[in-house]
Amino acid sequence: MTPPNPLLEDVDLVRYEAVDANHIVPAVLRVLADARETIDRLQHDDAEPTWSGFLEPFEAATERVGHVWSAVSHLGAVVDSPELRRAYNECLPRVTEFWTGLSQNAALFAKYRAIERSSAFATLTNARRRVVANALRDFRLGGAELSPEDKLRYAAIEEELAALSQSFSEHVLDATNDFVLDVSDVKDLDGLPDDALTAARARAREAGVDGYRVTLHMPSYLAVIQFATNRSLREKVYAAYVRRASEFGRPELDNGPLIVRILELRAEAAALLDYENYASLSMVPKMAETPDDVLRFLDDLRQRAQPFGLRDMAELQDFARRHLGLDVLEAWDIAFASERLRESRYAFSQQEVKSYFPESKVLEGLFRVVGRLFSVEARQRVGAAAPSLWHRDVKFFDLVDGSGAVVAQFYLDLYARTAKRSGAWMASARNRGVRPDGRRQTPIAYLTCNFAEPQRDASGAVVHEAMFTHAEVNTLFHEFGHGLHHMLTRVDESAVSGIRGVEWDAVELPSQFLENFCWEWEVVEHMTSHRETGAPIPRALFDRMLAAKNFQAGMQTLRQLEFAIFDMRLHTRVGQHDIGSVMALLDEVRDHVAVYAVPDYNRQPNQFSHIFSGGYAAGYYSYKWAEVLSADAYAQFEEDGVLNAGTGARFLAEILGVGGSRPAIESFVSFRGREPDLEALLRHNGMVETA
């Protein structure tokens, strides 16, 4: 008897330990076939389409495809292997074809239009009307109104783009893994914190080599670039990092040709849909109306930030010349010199702060904030109660309300490892909705980071729990903000619950909002415990951290603006692309925005996964756009009391709870009582001149 496929089991939680690559293709083919059978029946049904007769079974069929593909995609991102990658790539064109086919299906498009034009449409809830409106928009953006010939071409473009984006991501991961630097003499690693040295020694031991191993995974890379006094080591590691997935490495991992082809295909897709460029197409489901609106917003912010960025850089150059003997600051010196300047000016080091943030206390503090504001409690499942997981380090939690009812669940995967994509993200494992049998389906989130793992002994047992930098604490809060948006939705229509249906340039509001609590004493004092003494962080040290909060905020803002302006201008261009012109555009943007130069061999676009494989194409500006909203929303908490439960309840009701069921600007105005104001962002970033 064939054992059951864990990806197809009718259970709430996938048995991840039981999933292997051989399950993927059969599972995907099965859910695609089942969905097509349902859709074929629905599109040929002559009855007048209604919400219950057409939309509910249609959503249920496509939801199952999304659920299985989400599990497969997540495994590919966190436990990549050659076998899993082959299975994923075998399924990718089939899944892409399915979704593209739906968006171009004239019969389905007609049924949605019939619902919109029916007398019953006015009786639908706002959320359901929003579902229909979004679907009609997506049919048009998916090519439903194209000629048969153009539909075929558009579908081919979508399939090729999906494959190219996946290859781009794989190349970055493989190029990151390709680099290792084994160091035999610990003196060459002078300046590295003790925990970074311990981790480097453990990596070497696992690889069967003597000494210490440096890699390009973020915990190792940052330790070198921030703390290593060995300048040639910093340069070597920096050069390897910024050359990843380029012509400087293995030819088969060069993302240059992929970038060119992706840009060509995006421009062609936009032209088929009668848009001037891809950026204009990208704006349709966003808050911002045109690329010019975005570029004006970014340039306004640049003008405000540039004086602060130039001042930051001048101060850093002066400090490096006076105290570090560096007459010329190179790109690989910036992080190192900045850390020394921070220590000198504010009398603390990042490592001193890190010794106060053990994982357990950070999670306790995070959950305390969430509990106070939103009246929910995170309860970890351990031992026999824990579900099947994909890695030993993953944790699983129920999110319960005041009555003890489970309202959501989430997986927490915090540590970097070789088979895991870099970065930090939240993704949906399951959306809130109502099942065909009438039962409510609670949402489930994946929360993923890439922090340094705990110290372990030779057997793999944890000796000391993971310690986080304050920047990593901010990252965790950021991703959990996304998670709350997904998990605390009160909308039962899956297509607009949580973050679904939210304009892309507003989706960062809850994540950036939650970061602010990492800078509040009444939060931080409850999530710190010194690694050796157990004492909470001293108020005097916290005050120095707070004084340093906006250290080099001007430089950091300009760095983000550089990426955002480059992305938007890149996707407004029409005509022939080549990698040389892409790099020339980036150089032009840097000349206008950046306050320090990078070497000619820097190939940042080749690793720019956000816009070439992560959904942020012509949308990287979203981080700054949404930061205006988040800073202004947080200002309400500053006015009312940062842990004010009443204000938290309003934020839940007006922002988190409504998800994509109404335009984001309406949600913001309902919470704040007015349109957003840029001044809160400038004030939070210390970019307001004081008398």
On the question of pLDDT at 689 being above 70, the answer is: no
The per-residue pLDDT for 691 is: 41
On the question of pLDDT at 280 being above 90, the answer is: yes
Q: Classify residue 198: in a domain, yes or no.
A: yes
Assigned token pair, 540: 């005097």
Letter for the amino acid at 359? E
Contact 157, 268 (CB under 8 A): yes
The per-residue pLDDT for 298 is: 97
Q: Classify residue 409: in a domain, yes or no.
A: yes
Contact 376, 401 (CB under 8 A): yes
The per-residue pLDDT for 11 is: 86
Task: Write out 80-134 in H/E/C secondary structure.
Answer: CCHHHHHHHHHHHHHHHHHHHHHHCCHHHHHHHHHHHHCHHHHHCCHHHHHHHHH
If asked whether residues 366 and 219 sit together in one domain, one would say: no
Q: CA angle 250-254-256, nearest 5°?
A: 155
Q: Which of 628, 673, 629 is nearest to 650 (CA)?
A: 673
- Its pTM stands at 0.95
Chain-wide mean pLDDT for the chain?
A: 96
The per-residue pLDDT for 458 is: 81
If asked whether residues 72 and 195 sit together in one domain, one would say: no
Phi and psi angles of residue 2, each rounded to the nearest 5 degrees, phi first: -70, 130
Cα–Cα dist 82/483, whole Å = 30
* Residue 59 belongs to domain with CATH number: 1.20.1050.40
Residue in this structure with the two tokens 């984001």, named with its chain if needed: 664
pLDDT single digits (tens) 405-416: 999 999 999 999
Q: Classify residue 635: in a domain, yes or no.
A: no
pLDDT single digits (tens) 148-186: 999 999 999 999 999 999 999 999 999 999 999 999 999
Active site residues: 479
Q: Classify residue 284: in a domain, yes or no.
A: no
Structure confidence at residue 575 as a pLDDT band (50, 70, 90): confident
Question: For the chain, first and last CA: distance in Å?
Answer: 79
On the question of pLDDT at 333 being above 70, the answer is: yes
If asked whether residues 111 and 191 sit together in one domain, one would say: no
On the question of pLDDT at 142 being above 50, the answer is: yes
If asked whether residues 497 and 428 sit together in one domain, one would say: yes
Q: Classify residue 386: in a domain, yes or no.
A: yes
Instruction: Give 688 or 496, the one with higher predicted confidence.
Output: 496
Instruction: Give 276 or 575, the one with higher predicted confidence.
Output: 276
If asked whether residues 459 and 513 sit together in one domain, one would say: yes
Averaged pLDDT, 198-214? 95
If asked whether residues 53 and 189 sit together in one domain, one would say: no
If asked whether residues 127 and 218 sit together in one domain, one would say: no
DSSP line for 437-484: TSPEEPPEEEEEEEEPPPEE-TTS-EEE--B--HHHHHHHHHHHHHHH
CA of 270: how far to CAs of 51, 295, 307, 573, 574, in Å? 32, 19, 37, 12, 10
Residues 6+ apart with CB under 8 A from 382: none
The per-residue pLDDT for 1 is: 60
Q: Classify residue 60: in a domain, yes or no.
A: yes
Instruction: Give 391 or 434, the one with higher predicted confidence.
Output: 391
The per-residue pLDDT for 437 is: 82
CA dihedral sign of residues 238, 624, 548, 545: negative
Cα–Cα dist 337/191, whole Å = 12
CA of 70: how far to CAs of 2, 64, 164, 428, 477, in Å? 24, 10, 19, 7, 23
User: How long a stretch of residues is the chain?
Assistant: 691
Q: Classify residue 628: in a domain, yes or no.
A: no
Cα–Cα dist 89/94, whole Å = 9
Q: Which domain, by its residues, includes 121? A: 16-103+105-141
Instruction: Provide the number of structural domains found in the chain.
Output: 3
The per-residue pLDDT for 688 is: 79
On the question of pLDDT at 467 being above 80, the answer is: yes
pLDDT single digits (tens) 28-44: 999 999 999 999 999 99
If asked whether residues 377 and 490 sit together in one domain, one would say: yes
* Residue 400 belongs to domain with CATH number: 1.10.1370.40
If asked whether residues 469 and 365 sit together in one domain, one would say: yes
Q: CA angle 204-206-208, nearest 5°?
A: 70
On the question of pLDDT at 260 being above 90, the answer is: yes
The per-residue pLDDT for 294 is: 98
Cα–Cα dist 392/117, whole Å = 53
If asked whether residues 374 and 500 sit together in one domain, one would say: yes
- From 244, 279, 300, give the residue that closes a domain: 244
On the question of pLDDT at 621 being above 60, the answer is: yes
If asked whether residues 378 and 527 sit together in one domain, one would say: yes
- 535-547 in b/e burial notation, b at 16+ Cβ within 10 A? ebbeeebbebbee
Cα–Cα dist 139/538, whole Å = 57
The per-residue pLDDT for 690 is: 54
pLDDT single digits (tens) 659-686: 999 999 999 999 999 999 989 999 989 9
Averaged pLDDT, 104-111? 97
On the question of pLDDT at 373 being above 70, the answer is: yes
* Rg, Å, the chain Cα set: 25
- From 214, 244, 274, give the residue that closes a domain: 244
Q: Classify residue 435: in a domain, yes or no.
A: yes
If asked whether residues 403 and 509 sit together in one domain, one would say: yes
- From 222, 244, 266, give the residue that closes a domain: 244
**% pLDDT > 70, the chain:** 99
